[in-house]
C-alpha cells in the first residue's frame, strides 16, 4: 500500500489528508467489491434490465451497495425499474412480477428474496447471461430470449443447488427445514 | 455486530501504527458493507428447495437440469418435481391443488406475457404498408391492457444498399413506429426503446443486394 510520499507532502497538509482519504476510500471499495457477487464487467451496473409489472405490498426492489456505501430500497409498484444486481423482496402478504428486456419473466410470492446477480442481453454480440439466486420463498420463472438462444447461459441458484434451464417454465420453493 | 467479533473495533489506537489502523478500519468497514448486502442467516438454518416443471404457454413442455449434492436430475414432464440435492432421478408429481397451495401467489403475480408484432415497409422508405398501418390499433390495445407497459421497437432493412444507409433507414423506420405509438398516449415515450439492426438481422436469409419485402420491417414487443 502506498502512503503519501515526500513529494505529495510538499503540497501541504490538506492535500495529504485528502489523498489519504481517497486512498482509504479506494481500498475500501476494492475490498467491498471483492466481497460482492461477481457481475458482468462489460455492462454498467445501473442499466435498467426490466420493469416491475405487478406488485402487491409489501414488495420492494433493493439495490446492491453503491459507491456511496448505501443500499437503496424502493417500494415496488408497476413501472419500477429493475437493474443488474438488484434484489426482489416481499413480506408476508407481498408478491411481484418482473418482465426483463429479453422477455424472461420472474414472479415471486410472499416472504421471498430473489437477487438478479447477472444479466447480459446483447444478442447481436452474442453476449447473453442470466444468473439469479433465490434465498427463500417461492418463484416462477418463464424463459425468454436468453434461454432460447443460449440455454447454458441461464442458471438459477438455490441454497441447495442450481437449476439449469432448457427453454421452459418452472416454479421453485425454498424454505428452512425444521 | 456481536461481542464475539474478532475484529475488535475498540482496540486501543496507540498500539497500532497509523497504517495498521487504516487497514483495520478499512477491513471493518468493508465487512460491514459486505454484511449489509447479504445479511448472513443464523448459522444452523438448513434449507430445502423444491422445483416443479410446468407447461409452457404454447402447450409444450421444456426441460430443467437440477444439480445438487445428490447429482443431476432432469425434469421433462409437466408437474414433475424434485427436491434439489436428492439422489439423481428422484422425482415425484405435484398435483394442481398442491401447486396452487404452494405457489398460488407467485403464479398469480406473473405479468401479462410480452406480445410481438411485425410491421412492413415499402422499398427503401419509411412508408408502412397498408396492412401494417392497420395493426396500430391492435398494438395500442396491447399497450393499454398493461398497467406499466414498456415497448421495444427494432428497425430492419433488406440487403439492398450499404451498411450506413441501412442502419439509418432501420432507425428511421423504428422512430416512425415509436412516434405513432407515443401519439397514442398510452405509454410514456421514455418507456419506448429504439434500435436499428440495419441489414444485420434478416427475418428471411438472402444474399447481399437482394430485394426482400419481409426483411423491411419493424419488430414491436409490448411488455
CA distance A40 to A119: 7
B99 to chain A: which residues are within 8 Å by CB?
A: 171
Residues 6+ apart with CB under 8 A from B21: B13
Residue A177 — pLDDT band, cuts 50, 70, 90? confident
* pLDDT, tens digit (0-9, with 9 covering 90-100), for A71-130: 789 999 999 999 999 999 999 999 999 999 999 999 999 999 999 999 999 887 889 999
More confidently predicted of A172 and B8? A172
Q: Is A171 within 8 Å of B99 when comparing Cβ atoms?
A: yes
- In three-state secondary structure terms, B11 is coil
- Look at strands B64-68 and B92-93 and give their pairing: unpaired
Min CA distance, B68 vs chain A (Å)?
Answer: 4
The pTM score is 0.76
Q: Is A2 an 8 Å CB contact of chain B?
A: no
pLDDT at B172 over 60: yes
Q: Is A161 within 8 Å of B69 when comparing Cβ atoms?
A: yes
**E strand or H helix at B140, and its extent?**
helix B136-145
Task: Provide the pLDDT for residue B20.
Answer: 53
Cell triple for B8: 475488535
CA distance B83 to B80: 11
CA distance A96 to A90: 8
Q: Report DSSP state, residue B215.
A: G
Identify the closest residue of chain B to A106 by CA–CA distance.
Answer: B110
Q: Is A177 within 8 Å of B66 when comparing Cβ atoms?
A: no
Q: Is A158 within 8 Å of B84 when comparing Cβ atoms?
A: yes
Cell numbers 441489414 correspond to what residue? B199
* pLDDT, tens digit (0-9, with 9 covering 90-100), for B36-60: 556 665 566 789 999 999 999 888 9
Cell numbers 440495419 correspond to what residue? B198
Average pLDDT, integer, range B61-70? 94
CA distance B158 to B170: 10
Q: Is B54 an 8 Å CB contact of chain A?
A: yes
Cis before A58? omega within 30: yes
Task: Provide the pLDDT for residue A170.
Answer: 97
Q: Is A43 an 8 Å CB contact of chain B?
A: no
8 A C-beta contact, residue A26 and residue A61: no
Q: Report DSSP state, residue B55.
A: B
Q: Is A125 an 8 Å CB contact of chain B?
A: no
pLDDT at B118 over 50: yes
User: A61-65, A137-141, B96-100, B160-164: lowest mean pLDDT where?
Assistant: A61-65
User: A42-46, A131-135, B154-158: lowest mean pLDDT where?
Assistant: A42-46
Average pLDDT, integer, range A139-163? 95
Examine the predicted complex and report whether its ipTM is higher than 0.90: no
Q: Is B65 an 8 Å CB contact of chain A?
A: yes
A136 to chain B: which residues are within 8 Å by CB?
A: 47
* pLDDT, tens digit (0-9, with 9 covering 90-100), for A41-83: 445 567 899 999 999 999 999 997 666 667 789 999 999 999 9
Min CA distance, A149 vs chain B (Å)?
Answer: 14
8 A C-beta contact, residue B119 and residue B132: yes
Average pLDDT, integer, range B80-85? 96
CA distances (Å), A165 to each of A75, A142, A157, B53, in order? 30, 10, 11, 10
Q: Is A163 within 8 Å of B65 when comparing Cβ atoms?
A: yes
Amino acid at each position: 500500500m502506498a502512503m503519501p510520499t515526500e513529494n505529495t507532502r510538499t503540497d501541504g497538509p490538506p492535500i495529504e489528508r485528502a489523498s489519504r482519504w481517497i486512498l482509504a476510500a479506494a481500498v475500501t471499495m476494492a475490498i467491498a467489491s471483492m466481497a460482492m457477487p461477481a457481475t458482468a464487467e462489460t455492462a454498467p451496473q445501473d442499466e435498467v434490465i426490466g420493469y416491475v409489472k405487478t406488485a402487491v405490498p409489501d414488495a420492494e426492489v433493493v439495490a446492491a451497495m453503491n459507491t456511496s456505501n448505501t443500499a437503496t430500497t424502493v417500494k415496488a409498484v408497476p413501472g419500477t425499474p429493475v437493474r443488474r444486481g438488484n434484489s426482489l423482496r416481499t413480506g408476508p402478504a407481498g408478491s411481484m412480477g418482473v418482465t426483463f428486456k429479453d422477455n424472461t419473466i420472474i414472479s415471486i410470492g410472499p416472504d421471498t428474496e430473489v437477487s438478479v446477480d447477472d444479466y447480459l442481453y446483447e444478442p447481436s454480440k452474442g453476449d447473453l447471461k442470466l444468473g439469479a439466486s433465490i434465498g427463500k420463498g417461492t418463484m416462477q420463472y418463464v424463459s425468454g430470449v436468453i434461454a432460447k438462444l443460449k440455454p447454458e447461459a441461464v442458471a438459477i441458484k438455490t441454497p441447495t443447488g442450481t437449476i439449469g434451464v432448457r427453454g421452459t417454465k418452472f416454479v421453485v420453493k425454498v424454505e428452512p427445514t425444521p | 455486530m456481536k461481542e464475539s467479533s474478532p475484529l475488535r473495533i475498540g482496540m486501543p489506537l496507540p498500539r497500532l501504527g497509523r497504517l495498521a489502523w487504516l487497514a483495520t478500519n478499512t477491513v471493518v468497514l468493508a465487512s460491514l458493507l459486505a454484511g449489509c448486502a447479504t445479511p448472513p442467516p443464523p448459522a444452523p438454518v438448513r434449507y430445502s428447495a423444491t422445483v416443479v416443471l410446468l407447461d409452457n404457454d404454447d402447450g409444450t413442455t421444456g426441460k430443467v437440469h437440477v444439480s445438487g449434492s445428490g447429482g443431476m436430475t432432469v425434469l421433462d414432464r409437466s408437474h414433475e418435481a424434485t427436491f434439489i440435492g436428492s439422489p439423481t432421478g428422484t422425482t415425484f408429481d405435484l398435483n394442481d391443488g398442491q401447486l396452487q397451495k404452494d405457489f398460488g401467489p407467485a403464479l398469480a403475480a406473473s405479468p401479462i406475457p410480452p406480445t410481438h408484432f411485425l410491421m412492413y415497409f415499402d422499398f427503401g422508405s419509411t412508408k408502412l404498408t397498408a396492412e401494417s398501418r392497420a395493426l396500430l390499433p391492435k398494438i395500442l390495445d396491447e399497450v393499454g391492457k398493461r398497467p406499466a407497459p414498456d415497448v421495444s421497437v427494432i428497425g430492419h432493412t433488406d440487403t439492398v444498399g450499404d451498411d450506413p444507409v441501412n442502419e439509418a433507414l432501420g432507425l428511421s423506420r423504428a422512430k416512425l413506429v415509436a412516434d405513432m405509438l407515443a401519439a397514442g398516449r398510452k405509454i410514456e415515450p421514455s418507456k419506448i426503446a429504439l434500435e436499428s439492426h440495419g441489414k444485420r438481422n434478416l427475418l428471411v436469409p438472402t444474399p447481399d443486394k437482394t430485394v426482400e419485402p419481409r426483411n423491411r420491417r419493424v419488430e414491436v414487443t409490448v411488455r
